[in-house]
Amino acid sequence: MSKTIAVCNQKGGVGKTTTAVNLSASLALLGAKVILIDLDPQANATGGLGIEKELVEKSIYEVILDGLPAEQSLLPTKIENLKLIPSHGNLSGAEVELVPLERREGRLKEAIKPLGPLCDLILIDSPPSLGLLTVNALTASDSVLIPLQCEYYALEGLAQLLSTVKRVQGGLNRALAIEGFLLTMADFRTKLTGDVIQEVRRHFGSKVYEVVVPRSIRLSEAPSHGLPVALYDPDSTGAKAYHSLAEKIQWRQDDRSSWIRPGDSSADSRGGPDSSRGGDQGPPAVDPSESVSAPSDPR
Ligand SMILES: Nc1ncnc2c1ncn2[C@@H]1O[C@H](COP(=O)(O)OP(=O)(O)OP(=O)(O)O)[C@@H](O)[C@H]1O
Ligand SMILES: [Mg+2]
């Protein structure tokens, strides 16, 4: 059975697409069969995997709104195990077009059911909003991975996101778990990065991945070459970070998937994003009422 992970944060530019593309690629290179769904009208994941978004004819829009079978929208990528359901600018109309439809929050979930037997993992790159597309992503997923940029306002707006997660857990998708919080664009030379990392760990403890994605020129260059960083510059710090994250998530697959190599049993790397710091068991209920604030001393 495949597992579906939504990469969400309504804050713009925090590293959702970079994470969705590079985590998908790294998981695929580790041997998993992965499908990446670009659910953002900006279609950055589509472009980042080298596909001309203007030329896309069968996109996630047609899958959600026109009943196109999801299998028919799958595109190959430069990594054999990684397939993409591309996006298109017309998806920007979907937020409005979905409103009058029946079961509008569950359209994506229904549409991608046939993909389950075709892959081990489905990743969804969400748009920077908490609208119906993001709610569809959360409803269709087993878990949500939340990238947080290492900057002063990293936690701003997070209460809203967690409250949306909680609302979805309350009815549309009771099994939705927090996969983990991923710190991105860290500049380890600055005190600010250290402060933000400390603050995020204080709030979310073992749900924060040990792996922190550094600011890396290679990561920002790779999409313009239509490549995940693992192909563009596999030795870069960014590529190594996403490889480590992929290994962590691979273990979380546990017995849900057959692609974990039999015999591999380093149990201490299983569990939560940061199981070495105490681990976590099962889907946590998030408490959006928990105060989430910006780091107290940014300097
Ligand atoms: N670790 C990193 N190091 C350097 N640049 C990065 C890193 N992660 C992301 N970027 C760059 O930062 C910008 C924003 O990243 P990205 O597109 O992944 O964010 P996003 O959350 O998907 O944005 P949006 O909300 O617009 O969808 C991009 O130009 C990307 O190349
Ligand atoms: Mg994006």
CB of 48 within 6 A of ligand 1: the answer is no
Is 249 a residue whose pLDDT tops 80? Answer: yes
Instruction: Pick the range with the lowest mean pLDDT from 213-222, 223-232, 235-244, 253-262.
Output: 253-262
Q: Which of 8, 10, 16, 18 to mutate to test the pocket of ligand 1 (most atoms within 8 A of CB)?
A: 18
Q: Percent of the chain having pLDDT more than 70?
A: 84
Note the pLDDT of residue 154.
86
**Across all residues in the chain, what is the average pLDDT?**
87
User: For residue range 161-170, what is the model confidence (pLDDT) as tens digits?
Assistant: 999 999 999 9
Which residues have CB atoms below 5 A from the ion given as ligand 2?
A: 16-17, 44
> What is the rounded distance in angstroms from the CA atom of residue 86 to the CA atom of residue 184?
24
pLDDT grade, residue 19 (50/70/90)? very high
pTM over 0.75: yes
Ligand 1 centroid – CA 183 distance (Å): 12
Overall average pLDDT of the 163-178 stretch: 97
Ligand 1 centroid – CA 101 distance (Å): 32
Q: Please state which CATH number belongs to domain 3-277.
A: 3.40.50.300
Note the pLDDT of residue 169.
97
